[in-house]
Structure 1
Amino acid sequence: MSVDYRARLRRVYAAIHDDPAGEHSLDAMADVAALSRFHFHRVFAAMTGETLAEAVRRVRLHRAAEALVRSEAPLAALARAHGYADAAGFSRAFRAAYGLSPGEFRRQGRALPETLRRITREGGSMYPVTLETTAPQRLIGLPFTGPYLKIGAAFDRLAAEIGALGLWPRTRGMVGVYLDDPSAVPAEALRSFAGVLVAEDLPLPEGMQEHRLAGGRHARMAFRGPYAGMGLAYEWLYGSWLAASGEAPRSAPCWELYLNTPQSAAPEDLATDIYLPLEDSHD
């Protein structure tokens, strides 16, 4: 009888994302994966590219970074809510990952709206934007419904499945497609797609879905930094940049190409190209 490692790893990542503050010990997660403790950690690391401790820490700190700029909660409360016994331990882990203390990160995040307003007044550019024409592309992956900043849960499940199937050499990058307008659709109902770029001849794995990226003209914004800042980047792209560009957005969803991942880069070094589909030029 063959072992379905995809389903087992999917359960582990689901447990971490459903309760980031949980203990998630090796014994507990081995039980979730229905693997012996002796073999579980080696299998998990080999198939996902990160240890269990790294996965738990990454998810906890990503959620904490979002909470820091979106809430007024004291650091001690945020620490407990994200699996840390006290503010000191949380601060050490956060600084190691983000290069800033939680307080400094919160202050910088709160200052970004004023930065956006200043750049708008001065006519500057917050992020580099270029106009490009792309070819149609094929994605395979998993749909996700919920706040866009939580799509990482779907990407973790997808990465585990791609690893278990040995398909990484046949992929050409990870892409997130965002199908709804977050200003018009409730956060819990937002639809998105976590995918990898693949060739046309790759068979669709069981349990995954296919998504097509339409080719054509796009504005490509080179976003750099923690994912928690993307919301403001989109506001600038759809507001100041679009108004000054003379371009019109096409009736197609934005998508993001991830040039690296939180597993391989520090948050301040994360590189994401955001593609906004544009109407054809009439010059």
Structure 2
Amino acid sequence: MPLTAPATTTTTTTTTTTDRYLARMRAALAHIDAHLENALDVDGLAQVAAFSKYHFHRQFTLLFGMNVGRYVQLLRLKRAAHQLAYRDAARITDIALACGYEAPEAFARAFRKQAGQSPSDFRAAPQWGTWATDLQALRALRSEHMPAQPQTHTVEIVEREDVPVAAIEHHGNPARLGETIRTFIAWRREHRLPPSVSATYNIVYNSPDDVAPDDFRMDICAATLAPIAPNAAGVIAKTLAGGRYAVLRHTGSDDTLGQSVATLYAEWLPASGEEPRDAPLLFQRVRFYPDVPEHEVITDILLPLK
């Protein structure tokens, strides 16, 4: 017995030391998220993580798989791309300044190098596939090192009324979801149903991680009592069924939304004594990216209950 005790103590100590190290590095990621529109340099981020400025850059690169400058650039260009694709009112000059570029020309060069299109061409017809590999690397990094931290004790069971909605159905490869989103945004704008006056929902029939790309299904919806006339966008009338729902609030990027969903199903549901109803999961979008930074995005996950 005495011979095994030191090994256990050493393992525990090592794990704790590693956790502290990771927490300091992840504090730098959180700081970047919160200050993406400000000047960010290695010296300042090293101070946030409480590491030497002479070694922080190498530590960051080896742990996260990309250097600090590249990570910050990808986050900024990703948000710029979402603003270009989904926010027509955002001026390219303002987007460039928010990305840390003093002149639109420098921003345009960087954006074209990354996305393969000029900002104006991307706004007209976004081609995400040209930098899908980089975006996937970014998602993987953030999913692993900035995980969702849902609290199952915050789950509420609520009784909801039916909600009439205008809905657009997306069937097929999730990589083409952006096209559906753009079509629906244009329809909403035409019918004066912005998110500020019309709650936004997703009807989530399955997860892109669980089905073949061609089998992926999700509806994008806007609450409205108005009748939906036949239209070229393919928007139709639906009703989100009322009844009992378990509601878990997810704060943060969609990259980690699946983790909160998994917590609701794997931890809260078995312990609750509740049974899910034969109806799809709903997301209610409360605060939107790119209008707010990713760490400030809010999505309510609604699980229908019997």
Indicate the TM-score class for this superposition, using the shorter chain for normalisation: 0.5 to 0.7
1:50 to 90, 93, 97: 90
Aligned AA (2:203): V
The alpha carbon displacement at 1:186 in A equals 1.8
Aligned AA (1:204): A
* Secondary structure at the counterpart of residue 259 of structure 1: strand
Size of the aligned set, in residue pairs, is: 192
* Secondary structure at the counterpart of residue 222 of structure 1: strand
Q: Residue 204 of structure 1 aligns with which residue?
A: 229
The range that moved more, 142-151 or 216-225, is 142-151
CA distance, structure 2, for counterparts of residue 212 and residue 54 of structure 1: 39
CA distance, structure 2, for counterparts of residue 261 and residue 127 of structure 1: 25
CA distance, structure 1, for counterparts of residue 175 and residue 159 of structure 2: 27
Contact 1:133 / 1:217 at 8 angstroms: preserved in 2?
yes
Distance 1:213 1:219, change over 3 A: same
The alpha carbon displacement at 1:49 in A equals 3.6
1:176 to 188, 202, 207: 202
The alpha carbon displacement at 1:239 in A equals 0.5
* Secondary structure at the counterpart of residue 276 of structure 2: coil
Aligned AA (1:50): A
The range that moved more, 213-222 or 178-187, is 178-187
Contact 1:148 / 1:192 at 8 angstroms: preserved in 2?
no
Alignment RMSD: 4.1
Distance 1:186 1:107, change over 3 A: closer
Summarize the alignment of residues 103-114 of structure 1 with structure 2, pairs less than 5 Å apart. Answer: 107=141, 109-111=143-145
State the Cα deviation string for residues 175-232 of structure 1 (Å, max 9, x = none). 1111235565323311110110101x43435131122111000001100001110111
| Structure of higher RCO (CA pairs closer than 8 Å, 6+ residues apart) | 1
TM-score with structure 1 setting the length: 0.55
Q: Residue 186 of structure 2 aligns with which residue?
A: 160
* Secondary structure at the counterpart of residue 172 of structure 1: coil
Unaligned runs of 5+ in 2: 1-76, 97-111, 118-135
Identity of aligned residues (%): 20
1:241 to 264, 268, 271: 268
CA distance, structure 1, for counterparts of residue 176 and residue 267 of structure 2: 26
CA distance, structure 1, for counterparts of residue 218 and residue 165 of structure 2: 13
CA distance, structure 2, for counterparts of residue 234 and residue 182 of structure 1: 13
